[in-house]
């Protein structure tokens, strides 16, 4: 027997002065291997063409379909309805600016983050297109790659109590991003440079260790380990600075 | 994200204190844990016999450790409060945000933090009352403690509330220190949580038994 699914979906269009935030209910017959991606598209096609939500890759790669699914931030394209109860409540991710309905602007947030943490390799070397590429240890390359897998979906930010209470918090994705450059031998930034970015309550010391980021990250990024490592590292720098002067 | 746009922007200050304060918050927490366990075992010694407890208490008083150590612990307690309070939302706006958030995401560890912050405020008040009551009425004698409890059963209720709250706050703190500072990684998290739960249960057990030992002590 196919289930009849009830969707409670947040509706609000900030562009329209008539619109007020409210929940709207849709029902849909469950089909085989139904994902929220397919379900939302069917609702939009068959029931309400004005429904706004974001998708691109539908394969958990682009990070645009993050939303709050029955209370948990997650990727809609990665979520099968068979893992959910009959009633499914969908909300846009908090923290990020609302575009409309389920669509939020994670792009601007991450853009600003990357400006703040200067998310690029800082090097004094000039690039020589004719030279052979520099070698890197396999283990180092893999460690960097592991931290680079983040798809910037924003789920860890939306799930973080700290990020919700303080808008200047870098969040797990941001802190992890700095950690990625910290282990990159090509980046010439010093311990003090990283401390400048991370060594505050806006960075690693703001994190309260609630680990919601770790528990919701759809890419299973090693956020807990990364946050622990960076807190120790920056903690040691903090002590050095405090007692060294 | 905040960019330094004003001359008094905190990130422009080269000697930032956040890291040192975070250490201090953790270390005052650890200090209080050590104290609470010692305290639990000393008072709990009444379960073995009231004489043992009395002689331990007498040792601490005669050597002056209770008179000096008591206020020191109180200072540690206040320091921990001031440090940890940096993380507590005192404005209604922040409280509403974290409450809505915890209700929304059904996430155990987020609730643990809410419990920790809420229990903290109760412990602050009740702990201060307790310390005042005990330290302003030395010496500590098992029979006197029993009398206090038996004469006014509100004291029993008071301690039956305070003791579990302290142990729950302490257990969550222990767990969070280990994950925050990376002493426990992803693989150890589950085991650590079980371990912390066990410690809380055993500690609450000992504390409640101790209280009932006083309650049923015959004068
Ligand atoms: C016997 C009493 C107490 C013990 C054993 C204790 C223990 C701890 C420990 C071990 C932590 C973890 C520290 C960390 O995460 O760095 C902690 C955190 C905390 N404590 Fe206490 N504490 C006590 C009393 C209090 C009091 C009176 C307050 C009053 C406000 C308080 C407020 C907090 C708060 C808000 C946190 C969370 C801090 C955060 O989120 O980072 N505690 N406590
Ligand atoms: S760390 Fe995980 S949850 Fe956070 S943005 Fe990256 S992929 Fe998404
Ligand atoms: S561990 Fe830190 S970054 Fe992750 S959800 Fe908690 S407070 Fe946010
Ligand atoms: S649509 Fe790209 S991650 Fe879901």
Is there a contact between B206 and B36 (Cβ–Cβ < 8 Å)?
no
Residue B186, domain member (yes or no)? yes
Q: If pLDDT is split at 50, 70 and 90, which confidence band does B218 have?
A: low
Q: Out of A162-171, A231-240, B144-153, which region has the weakest mean confidence (pLDDT)?
A: B144-153
Nearest partner of A153 among A223, A201, A210, judged by Cα: A223
Instruction: Note whether A199 contacts B16, CB cutoff 8 Å.
Output: yes
Longest dimension (CA), chain A: 72
* Mean predicted confidence (pLDDT) in B93-114: 85
B4 belongs to a structural domain: no
Q: Does the predicted TM-score (pTM) go above 0.95?
A: no
Q: What is the CA radius of gyration of chain B?
A: 20
The pLDDT value given to residue B49? 80
Range of the domain at B16: 10-215
List all residues 6 or more positions away from B153 whose beta carbon is below 8 Å from its beta carbon. Answer: none
Cβ B18–A164 below 8 Å, yes or no?
no
> Does A4-104 match A118-242 in CATH topology?
no
For the record, the structure tokens of A160 come out as 């973080």
Query: How close A110 gets to chain B, by Cα (Å)?
Result: 10
* Of the listed ranges A23-37, A90-104, B153-167, the one predicted with least confidence: B153-167
As a whole number, the mean pLDDT across chain A is: 91
- For a mutational test of ligand 2's pocket, the pick from A106, A172, A227, i.e. the residue with the most ligand atoms closer than 8 A to its C-beta, is A172
For residue A235, give how far its alpha carbon lies from the nearest alpha carbon of chain B (Å): 6
Please report the sign of the dihedral spanned by the C-alpha atoms of residue B76, residue B80, residue B83, residue B89: negative
Asked if CATH classification 3.10.20.30 holds for the domain at A4-104, the reply, yes or no, is yes
Q: What is the rounded CA–CA span in Å between residue B109 and residue B184?
A: 15
pLDDT at B1: 45
In chain A, where are the structural domains located? 4-104, 118-242
Say how far apart CA B213 and CA A107 lie, in whole Å: 62
- DSSP secondary structure, A75-130, as one string: ESTT-BGGGS-SEEEEE--SSSEEEETTEEEHHHHHHHHHHHHT-S---SSPP-TT
Q: In this model, does residue B4 exceed pLDDT 70?
A: no
Model confidence band, residue B57 (pLDDT cutoffs 50, 70, 90): confident
For ligand 2, the distance from its centroid to the CA atom of residue A179, given in whole angstroms, is 14
Alpha-carbon distances of B130 from A150, A185, B116, B139, B148, rounded to whole Å: 50, 55, 20, 15, 12
What is the rounded CA–CA span in Å between residue B115 and residue B110? 9
* Nearest-angstrom CA–CA distance, A184 and A148: 11
Unique residue bearing structure tokens 């004003």? B6
Q: What's the confidence (pLDDT) of residue B11? A: 55
Write the CB contacts of B155 (distance below 8 Å, at least 6 apart in sequence): B148, B149
- When divided into structural domains, chain B yields a total of 1
The predicted structure's pLDDT at residue A175: 93
Give a yes or no: residue B109 inside a domain: yes
Contact (CB<8Å) B18/A200: yes
Q: What is the ipTM of this complex?
A: 0.80
Say if CB B174 and CB B196 are below 8 A apart: yes
pLDDT at B6: 53
Considering the segment(s) A118-242 as one domain, its CATH architecture is Orthogonal Bundle (1.10)
Residue B191 Cα to ligand 4 midpoint, Å, equals 34
Instruction: Tell me the chain A residues in contact with residue B181 when contact means C-beta distances shorter than 8 Å.
Output: 228, 231-232, 235
Bridge pairing between strands A66-69 and A22-29: unpaired
Does B110 contact A212 at a Cβ distance shorter than 8 Å? yes
- Can you give the CATH number for the domain in which B204 is found? 1.20.1300.10
Q: Is the pLDDT of residue B132 over 90?
A: no
What pLDDT score does A209 carry? 84
Alpha-carbon gap: B81 to the closest alpha carbon of chain A (Å): 16
Q: Which stretches of chain B sit within 8 Å of chain A by CB?
A: 1-3, 10-11, 15-16, 18-23, 86-87, 89, 94, 97-98, 101-102, 104-107, 109-110, 112-113, 176, 179-186, 189
- pLDDT of residue A40 exceeding 50: yes
Mean of the pLDDT values across residues B187-204?
A: 90
More confident residue, B36 or B142: B36
Contact call for B105 and A71, based on CB within 8 A: yes
Whether B114 shows a pLDDT value over 70: the answer reads yes
CA of B116 to the centre of ligand 4 (A): 36
Q: Which residues lie closer than 8 Å to A98 by C-beta, 6 or more apart?
A: A12, A14, A92, A104, A105
Tokens coding B29: 């927490």
Mean residue pLDDT across chain B: 83
pLDDT band at B18 (very low <50, low <70, confident <90, very high): confident
Q: Please name every residue paired with A73 in a beta bridge, in sequence order, or none if there are none.
A: A68
Indicate whether A169 pLDDT > 70.
yes
How many CB atoms are located within 10 Å of the residue A193 CB? 15
> Mean of the pLDDT values across residues B136-163?
78
A–B CB contacts, 8 A cutoff, strictly below: 125
């Amino acid at each position: 027997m196919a289930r009849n699914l009830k969707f409670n979906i947040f509706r609000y269009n900030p562009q329209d002065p008539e619109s007020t935030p409210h929940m709207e209910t849709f029902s849909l017959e469950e089909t085989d291997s139904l994902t929220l991606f397919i379900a939302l598209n069917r609702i939009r096609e068959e029931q309400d063409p004005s429904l706004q939500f974001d998708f691109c890759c539908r394969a958990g790669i682009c990070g645009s379909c993050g939303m709050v699914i029955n209370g948990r931030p997650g990727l809609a394209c990665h979520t099968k309805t068979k893992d959910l109860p009959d009633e499914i409540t969908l909300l846009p991710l908090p923290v990020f600016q609302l575009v409309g309905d389920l669509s939020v602007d994670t792009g601007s947030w991450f853009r600003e983050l990357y400006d703040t943490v200067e998310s690029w390799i800082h090097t004094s070397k000039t690039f020589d297109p004719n030279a052979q590429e520099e070698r890197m240890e396999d283990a180092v390359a893999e460690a960097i790659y592991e931290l680079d897998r983040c798809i910037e979906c924003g789920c860890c930010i939306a799930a973080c109590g700290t990020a919700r209470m303080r808008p200047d918090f870098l969040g797990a994705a941001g802190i992890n991003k700095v950690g990625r450059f910290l282990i990159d031998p090509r980046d010439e930034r010093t311990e003090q440079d990283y401390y400048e970015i991370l060594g505050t309550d806006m960075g690693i010391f703001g994190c309260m260790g609630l680990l919601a980021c770790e528990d919701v990250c759809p890419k299973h990024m090693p956020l807990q380990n990364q946050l622990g490592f960076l807190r120790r590292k920056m903690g040691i720098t903090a002590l050095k600075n405090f007692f060294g002067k | 994200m905040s960019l330094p746009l004003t001359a008094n922007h905190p990130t422009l200050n080269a000697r930032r204190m956040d890291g040192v304060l975070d250490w201090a918050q953790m270390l005052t927490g650890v200090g209080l844990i050590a104290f609470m366990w010692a305290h639990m075992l000393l008072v709990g010694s009444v379960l073995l016999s009231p004489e043992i407890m009395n002689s331990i208490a007498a040792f601490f008083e005669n050597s002056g450790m209770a008179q000096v150590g008591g206020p020191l612990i109180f200072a540690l307690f206040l320091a921990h409060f001031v440090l940890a309070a940096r993380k507590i939302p005192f404005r209604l706006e922040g409280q509403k945000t974290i409450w809505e958030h915890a209700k929304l995401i059904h996430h155990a560890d987020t609730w643990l933090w809410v419990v920790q912050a809420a229990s903290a405020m109760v412990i602050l008040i009740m702990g201060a009352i307790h310390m005042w009551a005990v330290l302003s009425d030395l010496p500590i004698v098992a029979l006197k403690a029993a009398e206090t409890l038996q004469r006014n059963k509100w004291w029993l209720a008071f301690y039956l509330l305070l003791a579990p709250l302290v142990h729950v706050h302490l257990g969550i703190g222990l767990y969070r220190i280990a994950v925050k500072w990376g002493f426990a990684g992803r693989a150890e998290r589950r085991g650590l949580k079980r371990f912390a739960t066990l410690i809380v249960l055993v500690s609450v057990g000992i504390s409640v038994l101790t209280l009932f030992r006083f309650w049923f002590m015959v004068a």
